[in-house]
Amino acid sequence: MPHSSPTDLPLKIRLASDYLFTSASDNDGQYDSGLKEVLAPVALKLKPPAMYRVILLNDDYTPMEFVVEILRVFFALNAETATRVMLKVHTEGKGVCGVFPRDIAETKATQVNEHSRAAEHPLQCDYEVDD
């Protein structure tokens, strides 16, 4: 909207954008517009939400076939990838099943742990921030 003359002021409809963008220097001090700076300009610093790695931990008792099935059913891995991840956990102690937003990572870890306990296996699934 172009700037209005002082006589237009009483009838001026003040839009939210007038308040957002009007500063004391806008009218060169020629008249008091009555508009006060109500909002300082704020730079938006939005970061994308953190992502979380869902991990499996090794143990000495859970059968390898059970772990492969977990990786296929809960994380949609094919047989080859599921076997590779299972063997990584078996040899290195820990491995990544997938990376998800926090609520999905938490849900998957809980579902895997409940399924493992129901089958009486000690398999541990957890999640950690992916930085």
Residue numbers at the binding site for ligand TYC (CB under 6 A): 56-60, 62-64, 67, 86, 89-90, 123
Q: Spell 112-126 as b/e; 16+ CB within 10 A means b.
A: beebbeeeebebbbb
Smaller CB distance to ligand TYC: residue 9 or 57?
Answer: 57
13 close to 92: Cβ distance less than 8 angstroms? no
| Rg of the chain over all Cα atoms, to the nearest angstrom | 29
Beta pairing, strands 124-129 & 94-101: unpaired
Nearer to ligand TYC, 44 or 61 (CB): 61
> Least Å distance between CB 111 and ligand TYC?
15
Q: How far is the CB of 120 from ligand TYC (least distance, A)?
A: 14
Residue with tokens 């109500």: 38
Which lies closer to ligand TYC via its Cβ, residue 22 or residue 62?
Answer: 62
Shortest reach from residue 15's CB to ligand TYC, in Å: 60
